[in-house]
Structure 1
């Protein structure tokens, strides 16, 4: 059958062959040599199982109908036979499902002679649609009972209540049950005695401890399904979720607000790790205490913190850095600084892309593994290769609904179970985690997929204008622009209050955000952020190089409200005290023109650990390092500054600690998507390979004789000198020739090539089949014949 199947593929037009490859891309990974190899791969167990995983519930039911209606002698079925097995279902829906199976070549052949690919029976249940095997296959007496329809009905109607319950259970599928050896199995024994159930055995297995197996024949199962139909309840259309519609605008507004919160919380988590890096556990991952500390710093729960930390790690914003022998810590990478300098929409897009593609399942954090050990954030135990595909399935199901539709979680899981029942089985927990993660990241708003997320999912597909992927960021520019229109415009001003609080009425511009990080301490975040100016924050600004005049000008320029006099006094007072003390190395020294101030420092008990000693009326020295001297004096309430060897003030920002930048680890969620020129190129390569393969089978008789094959009527093998003459003439005429040769393994092969040069003991020729240049050693060439 493989030859017939290959011939059918070979007869397809390029559009139909391309459609098959687009629907089953695993068939061309790697690209097969010819269409015969493609046919073999299309009938393999793995490829067929992967194709079935993507089919919906109704299409799989129609495939079961095709399996049930196959003729015993020819193993063929027809469209009419399948329609007879689906009463009450519109014929157009059934034919559409058959077409879906045929375009994927799970069914092939004419409408009146459809053939089911053999591997379907190997990778699916042996009981199509939950029906057992035919009665004549199981037991002659049961077959006689089924042949007499009136007697069969009387027997079923006379069954005791317990026996009828057993029949109804087996009729729903699967049709096999255990015959127990106790009194509870009395109804089953009655059915066996009446030949309604047939005892069977499992081939290759030892006897079951709870008794034999019994099977309900197919004919009786179909009789019991007279109300629902032979295949059971069929749903040609997906179930409609009962969730209410939130409206596209409401969903977008709620989602945009959540994106701002997700970006803010991620930044807070990474800043907390920059201030105090978290150690990497010996078994890998982030400790429970550190996760609680970070969640508290960001103002979110631990589950949300785990999701954002995992996403930041996948986006390359967080990494591991070695700070000592066998001591690694988690801290932000250099990419974090670049990420922080961009707008909110760009930052969210980076997080959303990483979340869609990361092979982590954050919902597992806090749970226990099979050895009853807790699963930590960033630990290897939370790795799940199927997570990207699960997220795509959830978002794809939401995208198929009307804009603004917000189904409940149960309705969404039911919809996923209809769309791909084989793939959704047992993945409810992964889909639930994807649903919750989408809500926290702002991918959904009020339970509905947002408009900018729809654009993000669309942009995530292949871009034929950029086949090499040279501009990956351009693929998500539309989603960034769509989100930007929903977010409040960045503000470049502040509102300074009399109590020294600073209100930012919106997301600050990157320049303003950098200034506020130095000038004030954050108090609350949200649509309007609140900061507070303190003596410590003013001193911090002076330490990094601001002068008092600079601070007055900055607040005057940025503030839309009058600058309170208390802030002016605070800046002037801090500037007046700032630099009154100067430190250096002695270990370190401390000098001041104010001798009374130095006397106060020497007498201060809070700095006795510095071991200060006066060496001049205006100079103190300490054996401690400069950094420790500065820190201790500042903790005691003084405002010293450092100076270099020439007495110039040293003003520096604290150096940010960063881990090495790394590339995020992602996987292709659903395999490559072939469209446009890529798909056409694969089809063309298959066609050319098929032509070359068939041509190779028609090598001239002289070449085959040179390989030692028995050819009737041929008495001698072409001489080596004659082969060289043919090759020399082919070089001059640029003609194609058949070359017979012996490869390095001693195998005799033939190839159709176009000779380019013949020199130095080698033949160089072009192989148009593979579009490559081959080199043959002349002493290995056995024959050469011009192409006819």
Structure 2
């Protein structure tokens, strides 16, 4: 069977020169890798488009139907284009299928690219997924979000008490993961799934910039951003975690090791770097979005046991089938990481009950806003409206436990954490009082009266007698000298105004608490407390030379009732686009460069990027007449790696131009025999010896005619 005619650089450049702006835009959208860097002229555009690297990028992103057609055309079955006209039209727009001499032609490098490439699924998945109730999906999403925020807070608390040591080889090892698991959960020897959960939280915190290694000791500890994060609203806290997860160039954070069958492995190691992870997460969510319209539907099922590794059918359903059809080659190569990625998206509330959630849609909208140069606000606005309000109350029980009635405000949660040990995690935790916990609170600055006043004001029922007895017993056995830390204080003689101050969420987030009598103390600095009081509409005055804040004024009616402050909210705490942008990462902490991670697909979705590329291609300096191209063998050498691979495969002689360490260039002629790990093995012409060349120093490669004998 005859093969399809092939075309080279001259024909492709002529084709690009004949395209109008709409045709060039279609070409760039179909081949987004050509947008970075922006092509300087038609010749460079065509040279990159026909290179082996660009063709491999295209083939990897073809759906199964178009890949089947391309393989048929490569076999010489030109009639297949008529049977699948839509796929043929895409290949024409992509500059892969041209008409040359009255026949359909393919790029000269394509046969080599298609060698040993499987075709993928033979039939498109049938539409039709089982619908799910939107309310149930939303509830599951919000519950996961509340639990995750609580878990991250507990991890940061554990790391504040004792930072995580780093292995000599890098990363945090199993001993530290187990220690942190016990510190988080307060239990005995942890099981593997619990240790794996700690590893996932550590990776997520690092991806969001909440922890980093100390410059001197290398121990991983909370950053300054972590302190701000703990005081921020829940909608902004999750926004930061989601943006960090989407940008992280890391292998799936829930993966137990470098491959699915491995056991638990250290975290925060260089081996977990994976450059395509952001693109995989984006494709996962966008495919779910395409299948969800117009109503939520069950897109997948997960079967991930805690005690054993997941089996081959652990992840199944329409979502995986659509991924396999849309990108058969990519999905086959990355299917083992899709399962933990789906589980991670569930933990972040982006997926729930097998469906895409409203938070997942909002995260995609924010990604599109960022690609278009607009501030993100969809996710934070959705969460601010959807998350239930914070509560200040608990149920005190006779078994010495306090059960929260919802997600506690930061101040109330912090105070309870000083009085009792958190026994259960999640959005609605349980705290257990003990002699040790109450004694620790007394030693930290609480008085028995303070404890009773706090519990009475925050309990929906009377204080049980066992808890009252526990407080009395702890007070009798605790030394009378008490100490504690405070950054600022407030004197307010009116008990009602003191209660109103303590009920303010923003002041509670600063650690404001009742010390004794008319005095309230705060962990934050006097300047921060002063700013918070002024935003709440409270006049402040200070004694001369005293680093203190007094509040003889009154709260506004709305503030006293626990409503919004009358003054503008500080940057990063409101729901405005500017505030939301303050909590959106534009570069992953794992990146050494400050340049924001932008995938080729993101560039292709940005109209401004397409317009700039068209302007560059249509500029006077980029106009190239086809008649001036002449022989294209030298230009074909612009694809260094592709040309070298072809020369190795066919044992051809090449002329290689290299850049020296001093900046000068020189050439060498020989037959390349192997290429691996960034090095090329070359057998020199005229002498029986080989040398290793660094590929990144090679600037051009051209085939050389055989020498005459």
* TM-score for both structures, normalised by structure 2: 0.62
Instruction: Give the Cα separation in 2 of the matches to 1:373 and 1:496.
Output: 42
Q: 2:54 maps to which residue?
A: 47
Rate the CA distance shift 1:127–1:291 in 2: closer, same or farther, 3 A.
closer
In structure 2, do the counterparts of structure 1 residues 362 and 681 end up closer, same or farther at CA, with 3 Å as the change threshold? Answer: closer
The answer on whether the counterparts of 1:543 and 1:652 sit within 8 Å (CA) in structure 2 is: no
The answer for the alignment partner of 1:186 in structure 2 is none
Displacement of 1:418 after TM fit?
A: 1.6
**Count of paired positions:** 497
Q: Alpha-carbon deviation of 1:456?
A: 0.6
Name the counterpart of 1:59.
Answer: 66
Matches within 5 A, 1:208-219: none
Say yes or no: does 1:358 pair with 2:248: yes
1:310 aligns with 2:203: yes
- Are 2:143 and 1:257 aligned? yes
| Helix, strand or coil at the partner of 1:507 | coil
How many Å separate the matches in 1 of 2:211 and 2:74? 53
Q: 1:7 aligns with which of 10, 14, 29?
A: 14
> What's the CA shift for 1:56?
0.3
Q: Deviations over 1:235-279 (max 9, x none)?
A: 2x33557x6443332222222212222222222223222223332
Shift of 1:6: 2.0
**More contact order relative to length (CA 8 Å, sep ≥ 6):** 2
Is 1:95 aligned to residue 85 of structure 2? yes
Structure label with greater radius of gyration:
1
1:491 has 2:399 as partner: no
| Mapped contact 2:43–2:624 kept (Cα < 8 A) | no
- The corresponding residue for 1:770 is none
* 1:295–1:43 Cα change, 3 Å: same
8 Å contact 1:505–1:527 — kept in the other structure? Answer: no
Q: How does 1:535-614 map to 2 (within 5 A)?
A: 536-546=436-446, 550-563=450-463, 580-581=480-481
Q: CA deviation at 1:516?
A: 2.3
* Residue aligned with 2:115, SS: coil
- Provide the residue aligned with 1:670 in structure 2: 599
Of 456-465 and 263-272, deviating more is 456-465
Question: Could you tell me how far apart the structure 1 residues matched to 2:299 and 2:40 are?
Answer: 48
Q: Secondary structure at the match of 1:460?
A: helix
8 A Cα contact 1:389 1:669, kept in partner: no
Residue in 2 that maps onto 1:410:
316
Q: Distance in 1 between matches of 2:149 and 2:102?
A: 60
Instruction: Kindly indicate whether the alpha-carbon contact (under 8 Å) linking 2:207 and 2:589 is maintained by their aligned counterparts in 1.
Output: yes
Residue number in structure 2 paired with 1:400: 290
Pairing 1:531–2:431 present: yes
Distance in 2, Cα, partners of 1:437 & 1:506:
24
CA distance in 2, matches of 1:561, 1:112: 88
- Partner of 1:665: helix, strand, or coil? coil
Residues 154, 184 of structure 2: 8 Å contact kept: yes
Are residues 1:388 and 2:281 paired? no
* Structure 2: tracts of 5 or more residues without a match: 1-7, 186-192, 302-314, 484-520, 526-584, 629-663, 665-709
Matching residue of 2:364: 457
Unmatched tracts of structure 1, length 5 or more: 71-76, 87-93, 130-231, 468-473, 584-650, 656-660, 698-744, 746-788
- Quickly say closer, same or farther: Cα 1:676–1:566, change in 2 above 3 A: same
Deviations 1:521-573 (A, max 9, x none): 32223343222445554554455555565545434433333345666676677
Deviation of 1:294 after TM superposition, in Å, equals 2.8
CA distance 1:692–1:65, change in 2 (3 Å)? closer
> How big is each residue's C-alpha offset from its partner over 1:407-458, in whole Å with a ceiling of 9 and x where there is no partner?
2323344432221122223322112221232233332212222121122123
1: distance between equivalents of 2:452 and 2:238?
34
SS at match of 2:146: helix
User: Normalized against structure 1, the TM-score is what?
Assistant: 0.56
How far apart in 2 are the matches of 1:415 and 1:678?
Answer: 29
Query: Match of 1:179?
Result: none
Mapped partners of 1:653, 1:685: distance in 2? 57
State the Cα deviation string for residues 484-543 of structure 1 (Å, max 9, x = none).
Answer: 444332112333345553332111122222322333332223343222445554554455
Conserved in 2, the CA contact under 8 Å of 1:21 and 1:27? yes
CA contact (8 A) 1:238 1:419 kept: no
| Of 238, 253, 265, the match for 2:125 | 238
1:338 to 204, 223, 228: 228
1:113-132 residue pairs with structure 2 within 5 A? Answer: 113-125=103-115
Residues 1:287 and 2:173 are matched in the alignment: yes
- 1:304 is paired with a residue whose SS is helix
- Deviation at residue 61 of structure 1 after TM alignment: 1.2
Change (3 A) 1:435 1:368: closer
